[in-house]
Structure 1
Amino acid sequence: MGVLPLPLPLLLLAAGTQASGLQLDGCRFALGMEDGSIPDSRLSASSAWSDSTAARHGRLGRSDGDGAWCPAGPVFPEEEEFLEVDLGRLHVVTLVGTQGRHAGGHGREFARAYRLRYSRDRHRWLRWRDRWGAEVTGDLGDILGTLGMTWHPPPVARALRVYPRAPRAMSVCLRLELYGCPWEAGLLSYTAPRGQVMALDPAPVVLNDSTYDGYSVGPLQFGGLGQLADGVLGLDDFVRSRERRLWPGYDYVGWRRPPGPRPHVELEFEFEGLRTFRAMQVHCNNMHTRGVSIFGEVECRFKRSLATAWEPTSATHSLAGAVKDPSARSVTVSLGGRQARFIQCHFFFTGEWMLFSEITFLSGESGHVRPHPDLPGPWHPPPTDWPGQPVAKADHSHTSILIGCLVAIILLLLGVIFLILWRQYWKKILGKAQRRPSEDELRVQLSVPGDTIVINNATGVARGPPRYERIPPGQGEYQEPTRPRPSLPPAPPGPEPEGGAGAYAEADVTGGSAYAVAGPSPGPAPSPALPAFPRRRLRFREKLGEGQFGEVLLCEVEDPQALPPLSRPPDLPRGRPLLVAVKVLRPDATKNARRDFLQEARTLGRLRDPNIVRLLGVCAGAGPLCIITEYMEHGDLHQFLGGPRGPALSLATLLHVGAQIASGMRFLAGLNFVHRDLATRNCLVGEGFTVKVADFGMSRHLYAADYYRVRGRALLPIRWMAWECILMGTFTPASDAWAFGVTLWEVLTRCREQPYGRLSDEQVIANAGHHFRAQGRQEYLPCPPGCPAALHGVMLRCWSRDAADRPSFGLLHRLLRDHTVLA
């Protein structure tokens, strides 16, 4: 790895100077509840007593509606009623102001206290706790007062939920304003080892990151923010803290010198997007009398995306000699304007202990700088005199009944008109096939649970309405065809729960493989032994996708050479990092989901081929259930070919890539498995142009445009699907051969354009109808530039109308491996 040395003037030490980070004193701007700059569309609530007490009326200092947000019923001590505010982007929220409902003297409801939850992505909600671990805050004693509560530590959040609390069941109403400032640092999370305990007299000093809001697995914390980004700088004496009643050492996170050569602490930082970094500032303690010293050397690596390797040139510098001044200080290290989204820094020990209180970065967004929102002046609504809390009144007129009936009739008519237009729209796209007197009518359907969408009525030989299985967002699939297949070899029984016999239901985890068994076994099916993977070796890197029942995470394995042979790839070079995809089952998943999850792992464990991504193990026991599979260091084939190395690849190299994909698919076809989503996005590239077939494409938001959404639910890769898959829901190895032809076309074009890029999704479906009718109106993908005519002829054979005319994967592999298509 190359090293970029930095001259001494670029590393500045200044005792007693503050790091240029979060300045909490100046971060108290109103964020827009009272003045209306936060629109009503960003306000929501768990419930409301009526429309006049909906979430949009929960603005501090305003008397709109009935004067405040009021939940539908009384608030109980354990009730989960909340008012949610979406700030639109990440902010540091330092203070909240709350009021009750006054409504011109008619209101008497207010919240005695409240608790807070916040989220940076609108999916994972975190409980806010103060520095002493308490959740409930506030003590508003009357409805007229405005309670301003400062939050220590201040959460970094995009959305917040305020939960009013009450000591007993009672009516509660709430108005609020949030105060803070935009989170310009761009830091999403940092990964660090857990802080340790220093044994001192008269009491040990706990140097942990007590406010960290991410995950903690074993000795590692990842996926969150904590004391290293809270804007609080520690004192010269680390035993003391800036706030009273906190335990000794609270302001610092510290680590003891580990054994071994060049001992260091590794910290990794993830940012919202690509940024240009000028410098890093680290506030550290230097109290020599207690064995604490500033780091002697720092080395930082950079990369622009998670799936790519770290850039070979790092920024590094060694401090010239020991720093004798025992004062705590900020060390500023120049990063030379490097562009990255991820930064990994190694801080090397010079003493027994190393203590940090804050790490900040001087950086800006690459390409453009997001402007600061203007702070509008105060706005005051016109005085209104609203009545008290609404009371249901008897309405002696029939006006409301008549209006309700008219609205219902209008909505019913609109619904009927919409259904008629929808049906005619699809008929117009696909047309009607010519009828043959000897054939039955074929109804072509796209089916998802609870919905049947009639696409086209044409003639054919199908005897029943074929159906799709639902493809959840983020779920790549292998699927067995319905005809009989040879059974897989049995494996010895293992300790996993029973229930693997019979038909396997589709997995509910994003990015998982949906294998299906053709039919139940005649006898009890043995449970294969699943290799156990050590959870403590996983280091979180990035979330690849998320679904209804789980997440797919990209992780790096610590010391992969120490893993058992079954838990690491056989071709892993010594000293190279190992990237793995971790499919995590939610703790609240049902028993059926857990059984299906384990069955998926058993099926994956039986696939052993050099060109198929393999199962490395399962994490069971304490913690969530996880499936660990390979992930290649160069990421997916689509990004690899579309990157800077794609145009330089020779035709022979591209044929080698295609031959490896055909080899992996030949293995699956030999077991009678059907992939159903073969494309370059679902092939991973490793060292030496090693290519393996995977199934992560749908879990990447990057490829959302490659999937056609049916009624907003099921996702179909229609540009890669054979006509019988689109129109009849029939999946066979021959339909995979069609997808292979499209994948080979992607490889030869170096992924510079989407298949059928000039056609809309509806026109692609219409083209499938033309293939079915075979009237000469069907369109094929053109010959890629520089592609031999014989090779394009192989693609055209893959796109034959009749499945029997398409080449097998064994033949495709031989043609590409032996370069027969170039003869």
Structure 2
Amino acid sequence: GLIIFRLMITLYHPEGQSCLLNQLQVEICRYPLGMTGGQIQDEDISASSQWSESTAARFGRLDFDNGDGDGAWCPNTMSEPQLSDGLKEYLQVDLRSLHFITLVGTQGRHADGMGKEFAQRYRINYSRDGNSWMGWHDRKGRQVIEGNRNAYDVVLKDLEPPIIARFVRFMPVTDHSMFVCMRVELYGCEWLDGLISYSIPDGQQMVYSGLSVFLNDSVYDGASAERSEMLTKGLGQLTDGTWGLDDFLHSNIYGMWPGYDYVGWSNESFHRGYVETIFQFDHVRNFTTMKVHCSNMFSRGVRMFRKVTCFFQSGSDYEGDPVTFRQADDDVNQAARFVTVPLGDRTASAIKCRFHFNDLWMLISEVAFQSGNYDPTHKVDDSNTRILIGCLVAIIAILLTIIVIILWRQVWQKMLEKASRRMLDDELTARLAVQTQAFSFIHSSLSSEGGSTSNSTYERIFPLCADYQEPSRLIRKLPEFAHTSCKAIAANISEGAPHYAEADIISLQESSDSYSITAVNMNLFSGSDSSMREFPREKLTFKEKLGEGQFGEVHLCEAENMLDFVDEDLSLAGIDESPLLVAVKTLREDANKNARNDFLKEIRIMSRLRDPNIVLLLAVCVDTDPLCMITEYMENGDLNQFLSPPNPQTKSGTEQRQISRYGKLISMAVQITSGMKYLSSLNFVHRDLATRNCLVGKNYTIKIADFGMSRNLYRGDYYRIQGRAVLPIRWMSWESILLGKFTTASDVWAFGVTLWEILTLCKEQPYCHLSDEQVIENTGEFFRDQGKQVYLPKPPRCPDAVYSDLMLSCWRRNAKQRPSFQEIQTQLLESSP
């Protein structure tokens, strides 16, 4: 066999991008793909049927015995003699990605020495997408592969030609009715080129000196249109890893007809003077070069193409500016060769190339592309080494200058923050009189260093003024707000509606030494706006721990006679059992005073929330330590785990499919918008909306909560800054990350990400291909708004209109142009089937 050099080259660029250029080395592409070694999981091995549980598909691993089962896959019926396409029994392997498969191995059933079943012959079907299936045949059209002669020996068979597939089926073939069993292995390597099909005119027949030369693509596995003589949606000799000899009348493959290695066309059949080919790829890629192996035997009227023009398609249409490459004539050397066509680092998911004739005939035996995964946040820099070094030196100098400036500004910022704190403290002390409240907000901390650290993902923060931008922990800015307007709003804080989250943390402190934390606890519920009652601790029975945070824990408990402590306006519809399962959020006894005050403020906030899609605060335990708040428990856990397959909460695959239906997913999203619409009507800002913070009850009821950050399961969703604050940056708007600005519009942004999670069934983390640092860099692209920002891709279940009109509108740069939750709810209801 010959070799196509498919080298893996990693190029480092100043922007930090790694670009992989992949080509395949066929001779050594014979690695076992994981049936024997266990890399292929049991769930990726399936079958049409099984004789018993001990001969299920998962036991069809070549030369492998885990002690269970009878050591092979066996169908539940006898195999009948049948060589048509109607074979019913098969063993299927899902490789999870495209692979170049060059070799297969089979074996019979051992059953601890008692087995005697094996497949004497078999056929192979394969698919690249799981929908369109092709039957393998060798270069002479034979479909049946000779298998085993006993139950023990391993029989290896080369696939000539190789196949490019993700799914492979082994289908036993017998001469008479008999029971068969199989163990199998696949050999090859991963197909990294990304080419999934090419469409070309079918090759033609040349007559040379009375000899018929057939230049058709004889191993093409796509469709053939007889009238147009076009080959579509398949792969064949141009990707089989074998290129033609200098003399196209001879072949690399023994016993094949003249011209077998090449696909060729006559100039007389194409009045436009060119042959048009279309190459389809798995996704958008950044293309560097195309290599085309051509014959140049001009003494027989065959030459390399004169020029090639390539058009690129990333969306629905081909772009108007193609790449054109002209090939110089070679009237001396008649050797076949690879012609390298530069593609100028263009991005596309499909390429249409027109190869122009340079003589009577044009013959091609192989086409290979060099490309890398397309990253729209970076572009390849082709500068030479000197320019690159100069740029790096300049960047280092600029960074050093920026560091000095940042350090200098931080010193001045701390001085200004201390001064502004003293001014605002005096103003708040004078204005915030104790009226209907049993306690006062005396001190407001403007800096994150001076603020308290909350044990909840809802940070109780009041906006100082309408356009206030909190100094970000990532990009610190000097305060630029006017104290007069901020003071006017701060004076009315005690009379206005509280917020889930605002722009800075306000601490509860005693107005004098005579005020104690206990006094605050006792007075917390004396106001007319709260209906919470003290629940006896002895009536709580611990069941299990649901989560744990920095300052407390969340427990699942049983509460006896809870309904006696719940007021009528907080009654739980349809629930009358006792004891009642509840979620209990506790504060550690060793928590500092600021965390304690924040915990009490969270109780005050949640006690005011009354909505069917917001988790209800049922009662509290604040008379002694540890402080506790008791909320309703949602029996199906959080929405992230509820949707993620495999789903431990569901009872059957049928129920899992029911949950995955588009209408059911949209219904869940509508409930979330309903809850967020209620919060926004009160000017509450959640600041951590995600599926992990949406709980699922009976009948797919969704309620918004805030337990996500307290669970170890979701620690990877939060980015820790300078060892202190943690932020859910993959759900946050650009202005929240860069400017520290949290509003209803930033919650709308987070809802767009949450909707994306729902429609992808929470199979992966948002921006999973980006590191945390790259996510933050991407927010800078949103701020610069130069078209380089990366958006989350359209989920498979998402209609185009919902993605373009709704989801992308939630991620608009201008917060004022994002839709309200009322508008989002209306659009979702209109899209629901």
TM-score class normalised by the smaller sequence = 0.3 to 0.5
Give the TM-score, by structure 2 length: 0.44
TM-score where L is the length of structure 1: 0.45
